[in-house]
Amino acid sequence: MEDTHTLSIPDDDQGERLDVVLARHAGLTRSAAARLIDEGRVLVDGQNRKHAFKVAQGMRLVWSIPDEVPSMLEPSALPLNIIYEDDWIIVIDKPPGLVVHPGAGNMRDTLVNVLIARYPDMAAVGSRERPGIVHRLDKLTSGVMVAARNRDAYYSLAESFKAHAHRRIYLAVCYGRMPQDTGRIATLINRHPVDRKRMSSKVATGREALTNWQVERAWKECTLLKLRLETGRTHQIRVHLSDMGHPIVGDGEYGGTKRAHALRDPVLRGYVRTIERQMLHAHVLGIKHPATEEYLEFVSPLPEDMRALIALLDERAGL
């Protein structure tokens, strides 16, 4: 048996490679998408195409995924902080440091490994490499995430995230003070032209990225921001704030280390040099339940490391 899916290529994917588009919409890795293409399980307007074929808006993409493929993932018995669960979804409060899905150098003890240990049937939900995963958080970002426990939930949630039909609010402590109390960042985002492991908004081509921000608290050298995403591009908040000149505290990949050394307050400077992850937290996630279509909203409180930093900033400001 095979699970077959159909997609009309949206405008956002105009001119993208077939393997990239398939991976994005099927919830697969690039290598898994390429394997389906090689096996002849992917058709574009009724024809087999190569991995690098450039798709166009309106083309009909059909792909099939074999059923009953044994999972190669190893279950892991690590604990989970569960916010909500039913037969369709599980919502967890992800700690910083937990990788979401297996990849090069991280094949064990990821969120996926923990989920299939708790719910073995999830190994057959969606991608073989990323079962149940419909969105992700960076390894060092904390906060609320949802995963699908069955195939109907997986495809419903995947479509919702693709259409940005959900609510995502983050909290971040960044360097400097913002030019006003609220704002909206609208750019393109693509791979950095030099460092391909990073993303950049200073590009001529890419995917649209939209971030709304609001100042929650301001200190002399740092600001606590509430950020609402309209899109969900890779590293979107980290890139947008860094390219604005306000990198997130602790984010060594996007300029946080350099700014730490420039802090004037010696106590604050010494403290932030010990921070080992970006001070970014997925605070609120609002979704429509895939079975009932009821709107549900889940909240993850600020983790201890971010509360400790905020307390120090208040103390240094005499608050």
How many CA atoms within 13 Å lie on the side-chain side of 190?
10
Residues making up the chain, counted from first to last? 319
Catalytic entry in 13, 19, 93, 138: 138
Tokens of 53: 């074929």
Amino acid, res. 206: G
138: annotated active-site residue: yes
* Residues forming a β-bridge with 92: 82, 145
Q: Which residues, 6 or more positions from 209, have their beta carbon under 8 angstroms from its beta carbon?
A: 185, 186, 187, 188, 189, 201, 231, 233, 236, 239, 240
- Tokens representing residue 182 in the block: 């609220």
| Per-residue buried b or exposed e for 17-54, using 16+ beta carbons within 10 Å of the residue's own CB | bbbbbbbbbbbbbeebbbebbeeebbbbeeeebeeebe
Give the catalytic positions in this structure: 138
